[in-house]
Structure 1
Amino acid sequence: MTDIRETEPAAITPAAQELRAAVEGGLPTTLADLCALVRIPSVSWDAFDADQVARSADAVANLVRGLGVFDSVEIKAAGIPGGAELGHPAVLATRAARRGRPTVLLYAHHDVQPPGQDEDWESNPFEPTIRGDRLYGRGAADDKAGVMAHIAAIRALVEAEGPDFDLGLALFIEGEEEFGSRSFSTFLEENQEALRADAIVVADSNNWDVSTPALTTALRGNVTFRLTVRTLDHASHSGMFGGAVPDAMMATVRLLSSLYAEDGSVAVTGLTSIDVPTPDYSVGQLRLETGLTAGVSPIGHGTVLSRIWSQPAITVTGIDAPSVANASNTLTPVVTVRISTRVAPGQPAAEAYLALQAHLLAHAPFGARVDIDDVDTGEAFLVDTEGWAVAETRSAMAEAWGVEPVDIGVGGSIPFIADLVRVFPDAQILVTGVEDPDSRAHSPNESLHLGVFKRAILSEAFLLARLNRRSES
């Protein structure tokens, strides 16, 4: 991992000054455009209005057309494998490289997570609101800020160097990342030539803090599924038969408990970890960033960041069982839970699923019937940090932020990156972002730090300018 340190003062070239001025001057327009996107409730989940996602795609496409630099700007949808249904619309724009310059693909997504309960928000989730140095709203950070970082960086490049540049560009703004990127692989196959690039910038990750940029070099994979535990053919009176008959709730609690060791780490044989160095990160910082309640201890072993970046984790994200309000003195016949497992880099998701399946079947208590279905997997990701595009990105970040970037892992998953690697094995993939540890993506009161946003735009503008001067490698 890279140490956090200030860069040596460097001479500011006229070209860099022009880019800085273009980013600064364009910020009011950029923020206004971002706010307009946040006002569109483009939730891609099935239970929400798909027309709003289409409306969001239209708005993004209009912003891209307004740049005036792309040969083609289209709104496209691809089929979801295994059925006739189309995925949500994406925006695809292309510009051919000239005079031996490389091509860079810029990725972000315009769909957002559901807002959750309105009462958990301090302001309307779809009415962007500035409080202090942060912009609040669903998608303000994840990932409409990523969309606007791409657009604003291109605007700055055009203003500073003119529209007749030689760098090849492809822009892919997906419309269903938050719902599993169901049509992503099909979209890549159908648009492979349009998306082919020497470097791919995925603007959907985090920074170390509000003052220090980061390049994400490791992402955990994921395995999610529905687990159903049944012990009875029908409900029975808990007073009459309790103590002799195990109900599904008891069996489920016992089974779920078997997934964890005494320290809260994962206790499933076959789930692996990797050993990588991590920067200093205290338990106090963990408490600050997560809201861990006083008196509650962190779980796991090893450094805090190793638990998040390079070890597996299992979370029960939902339970279908009688509610407290409807509870009766009844032995429950069946309980269903949703399990989300994060898989350490280096382990194939299919291998991790088989380990989980074997564990659950072997540990079913009292002979309970255990069924697993609705399985979804996503691969982990490790970046090759030796490529020229990584070096150019680090230099651009250092120039924009005034400190060297940190290489970080992320506990979350971006499964579609495995598809990018499969379809474009020679492309260098750069995972950047506009978020910081307090952005609270997916949570109530999601927000974007405006200073981070400006520096992220400037980093990408510097990167595009560097690549525009580079011969294809």
Structure 2
Amino acid sequence: MSRSQAIDSVSQAFEQGAFLSILNESVTYRTESQEPGQLLELYRYLREYVTPRVEKLGFMVAIYDNPVDGRGPLMIATRIEDPDLPTVLSYGHGDVIRGYDAQWREGLSPWRVTVEDDRWYGRGTADNKGQHLINLLALEHVIQARKGKLGYNVKLLLEMCEEDGSAGLREFCQEKRQALAADVFIASDGPRLAAARPTLFLGSRGAFNFELSVNLRDGAHHSGNWGGLLRNPGIVLANAIACLVDQNGQIQVPGLKPRTLPDPVRRALADIEVGNGPGDPDIDPEWGEPGLTPSERVFGWNTLDVLAFKTGNPEAPAHAIPGHAKAHCHIRFTVDSDYTTFIEMIRNHLDAHGFQDVDVCQTRMEVMHATRLDPDNPWVRWALKSLARTTNKKPALLPNLGGSLPNDVFADVLGLPTLWVPHSYPACSQHAPNEHLLGSVVRESLQIMAGLFWDLGEAGPALVGERSQ
């Protein structure tokens, strides 16, 4: 069979409902990793659902307990044709965010797939069951088209704790570095730039969480008796935040900004338009770092955001001056920044502006590290060519995702060039009620991955040789 026949084969399977059936079965597993009571369900998904599917494709499967007690398990599945052939490592996560069953629109359930026109609703359809299942079905049809011989080896890592911070993933990959050794990493997560535009991204921004707090006194005091005499912690904290980031969202602390916006990144983002898709919010054109385009601000720069702010009792306000105020903030940062200096930079800036009473500390949430493969890397040129050949569209190239993924584990711990081909879109409602995939994107994504997996058999040896030079 030919490349086009492999693509036609997986397209026909889609039209006949094969993928919808696969997806619906996977969604019935309530794999909510943030719920401690669902740990057995996380194991069931790997043992009962994934294992038979990949064993049918010639994979050997091993399931491991998480290095962190009580967290979701991990799977390594390997399909080795010849140790001397190139090896691709792929990845996905079978756990999902909480279902929030009561918040879904009438007629929908998070635990079954409901099709309404182009939208396929269900928890995990977009994040991430649908995405790694697209890749597995495409790989299955390429294996069949090549009569069982891909011309390369495949390793698959599935984790069941991504929605709980990927706890244990780094330690696991350090321990299993040899078992996960490969030449390139190809996986799918996150959204495309837009539903109609195939997308390739090469890493992700990092995420660093911190708290600001003001603790002036125990208890609250009547504002009529003490207003104008007692400092208000909410006002102090609001001004401290404004000292860090101004009214237009521009970071005011030089050490919290990237050192540079590299020329390859600027070139890659030159034709990237953010927003204007169905369900997208309107962009505030004056918000963020001046002098940058919207795409440069979200993919090439750092942002500081307030996620939550509390003082007093918002649910039942009283005429009293509170004693405490707290804000939870985070910084999305690029690979050009050193997050280990962030707390020191914030502390020094607050002190210099008279906010010694504002405490700052890093939260217990694990830092998501920033990564970015060079857009000029040969693997990037190969992948872009493959996507364009399959779709007859110019793919969007994002040097890194605006959000955060545990890509540093693959890029830094395992030392791999990382290619992400997302199969969702920005308005998919992941992490929210009414999560969904678009059927049209599923169909095109199956074709893209079939073409990519076919092309890897043709170009893999040369690309591996070029990397080793």
Tell me the TM-score normalized by structure 2: 0.87
Residue 269 of structure 1, CA deviation: 2.5
Which one is further off, 157-166 or 273-282?
A: 273-282
Residue 320 of structure 1, CA deviation: 4.5
Which runs of structure 2 are paired with 1:69-88 in the superposition (5 Å)? 69-70=58-59, 72-80=60-68, 85-88=69-72
Which one is further off, 430-439 or 389-398?
A: 389-398
Q: Tell me how far apart the structure 2 counterparts of residues 421 and 43 of structure 1 sit (CA, whole Å).
A: 27
Q: What residue in structure 2 maps to residue 453 of structure 1?
A: 442
Q: Would you say 1:372 and 2:361 are equivalent positions?
A: yes
Partner residue of 1:191 out of 176, 183, 189: 176
Q: What residue in structure 1 maps to residue 212 of structure 2?
A: 227
Q: What residue in structure 1 maps to residue 303 of structure 2?
A: 313
> 3-state SS of the aligned residue for 1:49?
helix
Residues 229 and 371, structure 1, Cα contact 8 Å, conserved in 2: no
Q: Tell me how far apart the structure 2 counterparts of residues 440 and 87 of structure 1 sit (CA, whole Å).
A: 25
CA gap of 1:316–1:393, structure 2 versus 1, over 3 A, is same
Q: Tell me how far apart the structure 2 counterparts of residues 297 and 65 of structure 1 sit (CA, whole Å).
A: 47
Q: Structure 1 unaligned runs (5+)?
A: 1-13
Q: What residue in structure 2 maps to residue 25 of structure 1?
A: 12
Per-residue CA deviations over 1:198-255 (Å, capped at 9, x if unaligned) read 0101311332323321111352211112333211123222221121111322222222
Q: Tell me how far apart the structure 2 counterparts of residues 268 and 29 of structure 1 sit (CA, whole Å).
A: 53
Which one is further off, 246-255 or 145-154?
A: 246-255
CA gap of 1:279–1:205, structure 2 versus 1, over 3 A, is farther
Residue 116 of structure 1, CA deviation: 4.7
Q: Tell me how far apart the structure 2 counterparts of residues 48 and 243 of structure 1 sit (CA, whole Å).
A: 50
Residues 215 and 431, structure 1, Cα contact 8 Å, conserved in 2: yes
Amino-acid identity (%):
22
Q: Tell me how far apart the structure 1 counterparts of residues 145 and 357 of structure 2 sit (CA, whole Å).
A: 67
Which runs of structure 2 are paired with 1:203-242 in the superposition (5 Å)? 203-242=188-227
Q: Tell me how far apart the structure 2 counterparts of residues 120 and 253 of structure 1 sit (CA, whole Å).
A: 35
Residue 398 of structure 1, CA deviation: 1.5
Q: Tell me how far apart the structure 1 counterparts of residues 145 and 41 of structure 2 sit (CA, whole Å).
A: 35
Which one is further off, 154-163 or 321-330?
A: 321-330
- Which amino acid in the other structure matches residue 167 of structure 1? Y
Q: Tell me how far apart the structure 1 counterparts of residues 454 and 175 of structure 2 sit (CA, whole Å).
A: 30
Residues 440 and 446, structure 1, Cα contact 8 Å, conserved in 2: yes
Q: Would you say 1:89 and 2:69 are equivalent positions?
A: no
Partner residue of 2:384 out of 390, 394, 408: 394
Q: Tell me how far apart the structure 2 counterparts of residues 377 and 362 of structure 1 sit (CA, whole Å).
A: 27
Residue 258 of structure 1, CA deviation: 2.0
Residues 240 and 358, structure 2, Cα contact 8 Å, conserved in 1: no
Residues 62 and 77, structure 2, Cα contact 8 Å, conserved in 1: yes
Which runs of structure 2 are paired with 1:337-356 in the superposition (5 Å)? 337-356=327-346
Q: Structure 2 unaligned runs (5+)?
A: none
- Which amino acid in the other structure matches residue 187 of structure 1? F
Which runs of structure 2 are paired with 1:417-432 in the superposition (5 Å)? 417-425=407-415, 427-432=416-421
Q: Tell me how far apart the structure 2 counterparts of residues 165 and 280 of structure 1 sit (CA, whole Å).
A: 35
Which one is further off, 378-387 or 43-52?
A: 43-52
> 3-state SS of the aligned residue for 2:394?
coil
Partner residue of 1:251 out of 236, 242, 245: 236
- Which amino acid in the other structure matches residue 68 of structure 1? L
RMSD: 2.6
Tell me the TM-score normalized by structure 1: 0.86
Q: Would you say 1:328 and 2:318 are equivalent positions?
A: yes
